[in-house]
A and B are shown apart, each in its own frame.
Chain A
C-alpha cells in the first residue's frame, strides 16, 4: 500500500472520519467488543476475574447446556414458532393487502389501514396486559363468555398446549398492519396495464388476483420470507417474556433461546452457560443468514443483503 496515499486520504477525509467517529465508537463498544466477549462461553466466570481473568473451562458450558436437554427444546421452539409466524403472518398480510387494494373508498381504506396498524404501536407490556384481560381464569373475558354459555372455563395460563396457537395469534395481531402496508405498497406499484389486459381477456376478479396480483407479488414475498427465515433462530423476547413471563408451567411449549438465555443470566446467574447458549444462537443465526443471503443472491442479485 502506498503510505503517502493513505496519509493523504486520511487528511482529505478528516471531516468524514470525524463525523463517523461517534457511530464507530458506538459499534466498537456495543457490538465488536461483546463479540470478543464470546470467550466467556469457554470460561468459568467469576466476578473477581471478569471477562479476561476468569479461568478457562473448555467446552464445559456447552456440554452443560446440551446435556440439560434445554438446548434442543429452546432451539426447536424458536425455529418452529418463527416458521409458524412467517407462514401465518405473511398469508394474512397478503390477504389483507389484496382486499384493501380491491375494495372500498378512500375513507373505508384509511380507517381499516389505521385499525390494522394500531397494534404495532403499543408495547409488549400492554399486549401482555390485554392478553391477561382476555385469558385470565377467574375474570378473563374468554372464560366469562364460556361461563355465560354454560361451558367449562379453560385454565389457559396453566395449559401449555394452548400456547402455540395463542402466540401465533398474538404475533399475527401485532404484525398485521406493518406487513399489510408493505404488501400494499408492492401491489400499488403493479402496472395497471396488466389488469386492463386481464379484463379484456375476460378474467373475473378472482382470476385477476390469482393470475396477475399474486404472481406479481412473488418477488416481494420471496424476499420478505427469506429475510425472515434468516432470523429464524432469533426469538422475539418482548413477546414471549410479556405473554408468558416466568410461568414455568408453560416453558415446555413457550421457552425460546432468548428467554432461556435471559433467565439463565438474570435469574439463575449462570453466566458461563447463558453465554454458551448465546454463542450457539449467534453462530446458528449467522450460518442461516449467510445461507439465505446466498439463496437471495441466486434469485435476484440486487435484492441480496450483501
Chain B
C-alpha cells in the first residue's frame, strides 16, 4: 500500500450527495475531535519555541508560556556566542547519522537480498537465525560487558554506530520488498553471465530505491535521535552526540554554566538557564522539524509495508 493510495479519497461520505442529519452530527464530532487532537500534538512544540524566545525573568515569575509576552532572543544570542560544544555535538551526530545510515543500508540490503533469493536453499535457516534474536536476548548486562570490557568500544565512535546498524525489522521489510521484484529479471541477468553480487549491486539496488529511501530514513531518524548508546558508552565530551548533549544540559545547569564559562563567557549576569534549555532543544530538534514535511510520506510507506508483513 502506497502513501498516495492512503491519501486517495476513498471515503464514502464524499460519494453520497446531500448531507443528512447523522452526517452533520458526525462531521461536527469528527472535525472537532481531530482538530483538538492535532492541537494537542502541536502545542507542546509551540511551548518550547515560545519559551526559548521569552525573557528569563518572565519565565521565572509567570512560568513557560505559549505566546512570548516578553520577547527576547537572549538565549539564542548566548547559545550562538559560544557555540563550540553545540557545534561539536552537531558534527558527531551528523557524522554518525550519515555513516551509520549508509553502512546500515548496505548491510540491510545485501543481507535481505541473499535471503530473498529463492534458489538459495538455506535462506529460511538464516532468516530464523536473525529472527530469533528478536524473541530472546541475553539482556542488557552481557551485551554491555561485551562491548565495554571485551570489544573495548567505550568512548569510540563505533559505540554510537554499531549497535543501531542492523535491525531485524528492516531486514524483514527489505526482504518482502525484494520478494516483489520479478524473478525473471534475475534469471535473464544470470543468463547474461552476471554474478550474484553484480546482480545485487547493479540490478537490484537501483530497483530498490523506494525501499532504500524508507529504510534509510528510519535509520537516519534512529541515529539522529539516539542518546541511549551515548548514555551507556560515551563519557568523552568530544564524542557526545546532540541528543545526549541536550540530555546532559537539561539535567545539569551547573554543567551548562561551566560550559559557557569554559567557552569564555564572562558570567557577571545570571545565565538565562530556563530559556537557554529551550533554545538548545529547538536547535537540536530543528533539522528534524525542517525535514519532516518532505520525508513524512516515506515513513508512512514504511509503516504500511511493515503492517502488511507484521
**Binding-face segment, A64-72, A79-87, A101-109, A157-165:** A101-109
Contact of A51 among B33, B38, B142 (CB under 8 A): B142
* B138 interfacial contact with A, CB 8 Å: yes
* A133 interfacial contact with B, CB 8 Å: yes
* B178 interfacial contact with A, CB 8 Å: no
B1–A185 touching, CB < 8 Å: yes
Number of contacts between A and B (CB, 8 Å)?
Answer: 315
Contact of A102 among B26, B135, B221 (CB under 8 A): B26
* B87 interfacial contact with A, CB 8 Å: no
* B187 interfacial contact with A, CB 8 Å: no
Contact of A130 among B48, B131, B195 (CB under 8 A): B48
* Chain B 77-136 residues near chain A, CB threshold 8 A: 107, 110-111, 113-115, 117, 120-123, 126, 128-131, 133, 135-136
B47–A133 touching, CB < 8 Å: yes
A102–B107 touching, CB < 8 Å: no
Per-position binary interface string of chain A over residues 177-206, scored 1 when its CB falls under 8 Å from any chain B CB and 0 otherwise: 110011011101100100110010000111
Contacts of B197 in A (CB 8 A): 15, 18-19
Contacts of B121 in A (CB 8 A): 9, 13
A271–B250 touching, CB < 8 Å: no
* A27 interfacial contact with B, CB 8 Å: yes
**Binding-face segment, B206-214, B255-263, B281-289:** B281-289
Contact of B299 among A47, A117, A237 (CB under 8 A): A117
A227–B310 touching, CB < 8 Å: yes
Main secondary structure of the interface of B (DSSP, over half): helix
B310–A112 touching, CB < 8 Å: no
Interface residues on A, range: 35 or more
A278–B140 touching, CB < 8 Å: yes
Question: Residue of A at shortest CB range from B47?
Answer: A133
* Chain B 206-243 residues near chain A, CB threshold 8 A: 221, 224-228, 232, 243
A116–B196 touching, CB < 8 Å: no
Question: Residue of A at shortest CB range from B165?
Answer: A26
Interface centre among B9, B33, B121, B251 (most CB of A within 10 A): B251
Contact of A305 among B16, B300, B307, B310 (CB under 8 A): B310
The list of the 8 closest CB pairs from A to B, nearest first, reads: A278-B139, A37-B142, A144-B63, A34-B138, A103-B30, A123-B225, A115-B38, A204-B22
Interface residues of B (CB under 8 A from A): 1, 5-13, 16, 20, 22-23, 26-27, 29-31, 33-35, 37-42, 44-45, 47-48, 51, 59-60, 62-66, 107, 110-111, 113-115, 117, 120-123, 126, 128-131, 133, 135-147, 149-151, 162-163, 165-166, 171, 195-197, 200, 221, 224-228, 232, 243-244, 246-247, 250-251, 274, 277-278, 281, 284-285, 288-289, 292-293, 296, 299-300, 303-304, 307, 310
Interface residues of A (CB under 8 A from B): 9, 13, 15-20, 22-24, 26-27, 29-38, 40-41, 47, 50-51, 92, 95-96, 99-104, 106, 108-112, 114-126, 128-130, 132-134, 136, 138-141, 143-145, 147, 173, 176-178, 181-182, 184-186, 188-189, 192, 195-196, 199, 204-206, 208, 220, 223, 227, 237-238, 242, 245, 258, 261-262, 265-266, 271, 274-275, 277-279, 281-282, 285-286, 289-290, 303, 305-306
